[in-house]
Amino acid sequence: MTVVLPDGSELDVPAGATVEDVAFEIGPGLGRDTVAGKIDGELVEKQATVHDGARIEIVTDQSDEYLTVLRHSAAHVFAQALQRLHPEATLTIGPPTDEGFYYDVTGVDLDEEDLAAIEDEMDDIIAADYDIEREVRSREEAKEIYADNEYKRQILDDEADEEEVTFYVQDGWRDLCQGPHVESTGEIGAVTLLNISSSYWRGDEDNDTLTRVNGTAFASEADLEDFLERREEAKERDHRKIGREMDLFSIPDHSPGAAHYHPNGMRIRRELEEYIRTKNDELGYEEVWTPELNKAELWKPTGHYDAFKEQGEMFAWEQDETEYGLKPMNCANHAHIFADSQHSYRDLPLRFSEFGTVYRNEQSGELSGLLRVRGLTQDDGHAFVRPDQIEEEIRQTLSVIEDIYSQFGLEIIYKLETKGDNSVGSDEIWEQATDALRGALESEGLEYDLEAGEAAFYGPKIGLDARDAIGREWTIGTVQADFNIPQRLDLTYVGEDNEEHHPVMIHRALLGSFERFMGVMIEHFKGNFPLWLAPTQVRVLPVSDDTLGYAHRVKNALDDAGLRVEVEDRDWTVGRKIRQAHDDRLPYMVIVGGDEEEVGTVSVRDRFENEASGVELDAFVDHLVDERDEKRTEPDFVDAE
RNA sequence: GCCGGAGUAGCUCAGCUGGCAGAGCGAUUCCUUCGUAAGGAAUAGGUCGAGGGUUCAAAUCCCUCCUCCGGCUCCA
């Protein structure tokens, strides 16, 4: 039979050949170095047999995947160390992850002090350099081994069609495992345990609660140190830290999950709002406003009541014998505006936008700075379209969102999320809606991840995710196709055929919410906002109080151009004023002293420490206006000089 | 909501084997009027997250709650 190698070439191998056999066919050196392999992209142990036509990659200690293999072995070392110290611990699963590994265990209470002892034990196991050996046993034998471990038995039951299963054994300790692993524990150069948390068996909160220990491992101590250093550096990007330093926002203890925008933060938000207004205008949206407070009955026919209230995610209460609630989404109100008048097919698409403030009772453990809050304002919008307009509407929206994100230089992960368990509407409708989203993604040439079962309750969703400083993904923009709510509310337009038809609702948010987007922006720019977004764009620093008057005249000239400018009038040395302006992340500072006042010029310094002296004020103002209006990302006046 | 960690001055943090609440930065006042990343001095500033308990005595030990951080689940 034939297998395909990464370079596209084909290799004939005997039937029943393993990955390792393939490696030896390629060359004896490679054969000896083989740690594991990939069959059709999936990481497998080197003993795995290949099938005809398989795409084969050989994993050695030089491969990117080697770290994954190493970390899987580190998870085993952790589990062995844990059971040496706590024989009562029951093991469940312990896979490698992108950043390291975890092991979910139960039957043992752990806190951080235990971790240090376990790490010491792990170091001993690594130092002993035990061989890691593969062991094949029958499924029945395995079930006997795990007579008192229901979790491992469940895993074995999932493999019901397999006669034999594999264990990996080191120093007489064994774990049910498909591999692959490194040859011996000594190959793990450096390991550390990072935290303890709880998790759910098979990720389902209805199942048992387990204890998860997260850790990571590297081939060398130096690599681990780099990793820990990068983590420390990421903290410097944290929007909560920068938000405090720049006085952008606060989330006081009395308002969990509800951000208070300070003047500096509100300056940024206003710029974002105005930017989105122009985009909504371009897309043909009419701005509306709808109330936060409504009777709960508003959300019963749409399905929101069931989806949010029943999950405890909606703020609702009884008042004067009537149930009221705060809106968790804007769709129902927008649908009401649509329903309030008659529409002809000629009127469609009809588009409403709103900076709609919604409230959701997110679980307390989920709140995270501006990235996950309970009160948020979405740059929401709903387009009511005819079936023949769906795909074009989605494509056009996606195209604008792409423009916006590239404006900011944001890297985006596209996701297509499909029908989940608690959805409303028929499968046919969902398929139609999902096809429309997929078609738009593909016609825009966008790569996306398919996330099955993750959609909104009323329709499938394209999610646009950004990463935060520590690598977590957060959905910002979204485009959703909804055939359900228009039917449920009996929204209609009169067609060319003089019959009533249901429109389709396209739900979309370009930035997502101002809260989350601001959080992402702060971390993306590390607080060094482009001129157009910077809370203060220019600070004028008089060399001494003697030039305070001239400093104010310079400020007035910048004010007149609509720039956000302030004068540093504190009784400080110039060096101190410059230091402070850098700490405050000012894009530009202007330094004026007797020399400048005499000839009517200024000295300019930007956040990169670039300097220009003898600058004509008009030229500087003209440049700033252009830089702002073109939304350029970095200050470039001094470069341009 | 669950597991682990944390909450002391505006900020960052020390003190926590129980015995008079501390530092640096910032703020205020005074001196200094300064040319490209911190001038000097003095002063003010705290219900030690909240409530309860143990004790002669609690920031420190115990309990309950609140909030935050990391992870799980969930999501814009």
Reported as a single tens digit per residue, the pLDDT across A471-510 is: 999 999 999 999 999 999 999 999 999 999 999 999 999 9
Active site residue A177: no
The CATH class given to the A538-640 domain equals alpha beta
Whether A264 and A247 have beta carbons less than 8 Å apart is answered as yes
| CA dist list (Å): A459 to A34, A357, A505, A507, A616 | 47, 21, 10, 9, 57
Q: At what angle do helices A390-408 and A263-282 cross, to 10 degrees?
A: 140
pLDDT at A617 (0 to 100): 96
Q: Is the CB of A575 under 7 A from strand B?
A: yes
Q: Which fold has domain A264-525?
A: BirA Bifunctional Protein; domain 2 (3.30.930)
* pLDDT digit string, tens, across residues A10-68: 878 888 888 888 778 788 888 788 888 888 888 888 888 888 877 888 888 888 889 99
pLDDT at A189 (0 to 100): 92
CA of A574 to C1' of B28 (A): 21
d(CA A61, CA A382): 52
Pull the structure tokens for residue A338: 């649509």
Pairing relation of β-strands A286-287 and A350-359? parallel
For chain A, residues with pLDDT lower than 70 are 640-641
| CA dist list (Å): A225 to A99, A215, A219, A287, A413 | 14, 14, 11, 52, 29
Which member of A374, A507, A605, A607 is catalytic? A507
Q: Is the CB of A257 under 7 A from strand B?
A: yes
pLDDT at A640 (0 to 100): 67
Q: Is the CB of A583 under 7 A from strand B?
A: yes
d(CA A641, CA A17): 67
Using DSSP's 3-state secondary structure scheme, residue A359 falls into: strand
Which single residue has its CA nearest the C1' atom of nucleotide B49? A253
Which 294-313 positions of A have CB less than 7 A from strand B?
313
pLDDT at A641 (0 to 100): 61
Active site residue A260: no
**Structural domain boundaries in chain A:** 2-59, 66-233, 264-525, 538-640
* pLDDT digit string, tens, across residues A241-285: 999 999 999 999 999 999 999 999 999 999 999 999 999 999 999
Q: Is the CB of A480 under 7 A from strand B?
A: no
Whether A404 and A282 have beta carbons less than 8 Å apart is answered as no
Active site residue A461: yes
Pull the structure tokens for residue A73: 């072995």
pLDDT at A422 (0 to 100): 81
CA of A545 to C1' of B35 (A): 13
A579 CA: nearest nucleotide by C1': B37
Active site residue A378: yes
Q: Model pTM greater than 0.90?
A: yes
**CATH 3.40.50.2300 assigned to A66-233:** no
Which single residue has its CA nearest the C1' atom of nucleotide B67? A253
Give the CA-trace dihedral at A513, A518, A524, A526, to 10 degrees: -170
A608 CA: nearest nucleotide by C1': B37
A598 CA: nearest nucleotide by C1': B35
Of A236, A235, A242, nearest to A519 (Cα)? A242
ipTM at complex level: 0.95
CA of A489 to C1' of B75 (A): 25
d(CA A55, CA A3): 6
Whether A436 and A451 have beta carbons less than 8 Å apart is answered as no
Pairing relation of β-strands A413-417 and A375-385? unpaired
CA of A230 to C1' of B57 (A): 47
Which member of A71, A83, A331, A605 is catalytic? A331
* pLDDT digit string, tens, across residues A157-175: 887 777 889 999 999 999 9
Active site residue A606: no
Mean pLDDT of chain A: 93
pLDDT at A188 (0 to 100): 93
Pull the structure tokens for residue A435: 């096809």
Q: Nucleotides of chain B within 7 Å of a protein C-beta?
A: 1-5, 7, 11-12, 27, 30-39, 66-76
d(CA A160, CA A145): 16
CA of A582 to C1' of B54 (A): 52
Active site residue A331: yes
Active site residue A382: yes
Q: Is the CB of A410 under 7 A from strand B?
A: no
**CATH 3.10.20.30 assigned to A2-59:** yes
